Amino acid sequence: DVKVTQSSRYLVKRTGEKVFLECVQDMDHENMFWYRQDPGLGLRLIYFSYDVKMKEKGDIPEGYSVSREKKERFSLILESASTNQTSMYLCASTLASAGYGYTFGSGTRLTVV
Amino acid sequence: EDQVTQSPEALRLQEGESSSLNCSYTVSGLRGLFWYRQDPGKGPEFLFTLYSAGEEKEKERLKATLTKKESFLHITAPKPEDSATYLCAVQAVGDSRLTFGEGTQLTVNP
């Protein structure tokens, strides 16, 4: 069964900490995405990547960065965590070909205190 | 800018009471419309892709339909295990990104 695996289900971090969220897919997908999901706001795209070492800003990239050194791994980095970054973070991947849906990971619930 | 609006925000049904969820969209050129199911605390799970107006897809008690402006997710004789949030998303031609609606939270009471 194909999978997108996020390294942590729950994380609690302190304000100002540097936070790494890891995502690994085993489907040889070219495209990978990071979303955050908040009540009343839905899923919002943070960053995405079409290929190794490539990255594109999504709708809300401020306060985040990403790294894609290998095709299967896409990391989201919170440079200096703040309380307004408390959220559910979802990683997804898909083939580059037309019309394929995303496969999502189980999500990481991040709380910044 | 692509937009997706889902209605209602929440729907409460009795077991066996059929209904429909609506997804209205605007997109520059539709590459695909997607339906997902999301259980609390989990990532969305893919249900259907629809590519062109008039297309229909079915899976168990769920049937998705598509017109040029909206999609419906019909739920026939729902069961409590169908309780979840249902998300709709569109993908534009030439783009791999999805634009999501805010979802419809469905509760099916026994």
What's A53's domain CATH number? 2.60.40.10
CATH number for the B3-109 domain, one of 2.60.40.10, 1.10.3720.10, 2.30.110.10, 3.40.50.300?
Answer: 2.60.40.10
Once rounded to an integer, what is the mean pLDDT over residues A95-109? Answer: 82
> Residue A93 is encoded by which pair of tokens?
């991947």
**pLDDT reported for residue A95:** 80
Average pLDDT over residues B54-66: 96
Q: How many CB pairs (< 8 A) connect A and B?
A: 52
| Residues 29-88 in B contacting A (C-alpha not used; CB under 8 Å) | 31-32, 34, 36, 41-46, 49, 51, 87
Q: Give the pLDDT band of residue A31 (cuts 50, 70, 90).
A: very high
pLDDT tens, residue by residue, A33-49: 999 999 888 899 999 99
CB distance B96–A103 less than 8 Å? no
**How far apart are the CA of A16 and the nearest CA of chain B, in angstroms?**
26
Q: Inter-chain contact B41–A94, Cβ cutoff 8 Å?
A: no
Q: Which of A98, A96, A88, A83 is nearest to A8 (CA)?
A: A88
Task: Chain A: give the shortest CA distance to residue B1, in Å.
Answer: 12
Task: State which residues form the domain around A83.
Answer: 4-97+104-112
Considering chain B, what percentage of its residues have pLDDT values greater than 70?
100
- Structural domains of chain A, count: 1
pLDDT at A20: 97
Contact B49 A99 (CB under 8 A): yes
